[in-house]
Amino acid sequence: MRSVIESKRPIARRAGDVRQYVESLAQGPEHLQALLATGVTSFVAVPLLMRGQPLGALFLGSSTPSRVFGQGDLRLAEALADRAAMAIENARLYRSSVYATQLRDQVLGVVAHDLRNPLSAILVQLSALQASRPGVRTHDL
Q: Residues 39-97: pLDDT tens digits?
A: 888 889 899 999 999 999 998 988 888 888 888 999 999 999 999 999 999 999 999 99
Residues 87 and 114 in one domain: no
pLDDT of residue 83: 96
Residue type, 12: A
From CA 6, how far away is CA 78, in angstroms rounded? Answer: 16
Where helices occur in the chain by DSSP H, the ranges are 2-7, 15-25, 29-37, 71-132
| Nearest Cα residue to 140 out of 132, 130, 125 | 130
pLDDT of residue 93: 95
From CA 40, how far away is CA 20, in angstroms rounded? Answer: 12
E strand or H helix at 60: strand 53-62
Radius of gyration of the chain (CA): 32
Residues 36 and 78 in one domain: yes
pTM of the model: 0.65
pLDDT of residue 1: 66
| Nearest Cα residue to 82 out of 48, 44, 52 | 48
Strand partners of residue 122: none
Considering its fold, how many domains does the chain have in total?
A: 2
Buried b (16+ CB within 10 A) or exposed e, 20-37: ebbeeeeeeeeeeeebee
Residues 28 and 67 in one domain: yes
Residues 60 and 106 in one domain: no
pLDDT of residue 41: 86
Confidence band (pLDDT; 50, 70, 90) for 140? low
Residues 22 and 89 in one domain: yes
Cβ atoms 62, 68 nearer than 8 A: yes
Quick one: CA torsion of 15, 19, 22, 23, rounded to 10 degrees?
Answer: -170
Domain membership of residue 135 as a residue range: 102-140
pLDDT of residue 129: 77
Confidence band (pLDDT; 50, 70, 90) for 103? very high
Residues 50 and 79 in one domain: yes
